[in-house]
Amino acid sequence: MSGIKAAGFKSSELIAGLDAVFKKYSDAEKQDQIKKTNGIFELQVTNDAKETVTWTIDVKKKGEVYKGKAQPKADVTIILSDDTLIDLASGKTNGQKAFMTGKLKTRGNMMLATKLDAVLKGAKAKL
């Protein structure tokens, strides 16, 4: 658990919570998530101190969340601030709005990036 958090990041708790939810999923729930999402998200999150941490949400192969670069390669890389990630998870903003206002950038499969909202919401419902 401690390996997933990053000091100085408000979204650390969120990611740790997501990790806990993924670990609680039954195999069937995991397979369902994987079938629905089928993607590996790499989140590059920058905090107010301009430090960056990378987290990976794998909803394609194993159904897991971990700190570090995606292995295998991410289908989409999402670059955003700590605050934007918190706003996305809380529903204060959505991915499309964040993208349009330049608060979120993507590399790779942009259509997949739209599924991140659903992954965050699904996990939040389980918390």
Query: According to the model, what pLDDT value does residue 2 have?
Result: 53
Dist. CA 97–CA 93, nearest whole Å: 7
Dist. CA 58–CA 45, nearest whole Å: 16
Question: Which tens digit of pLDDT belongs to each residue from 103-124?
Answer: 999 999 999 998 988 888 877 7
Question: Which tens digit of pLDDT belongs to each residue from 1-38?
Answer: 458 999 999 999 999 999 999 999 999 999 999 999 99
Query: According to the model, what pLDDT value does residue 127 have?
Result: 67
Mean pLDDT of 39-54: 98
Query: According to the model, what pLDDT value does residue 16 have?
Result: 94
Look at residues 77, 20, 3 and name the one whose alpha carbon lies nearest to residue 45: 77
Question: Which tens digit of pLDDT belongs to each residue from 49-83?
Answer: 999 999 999 999 999 999 999 999 999 999 999 99
pTM beyond 0.85: the answer is yes
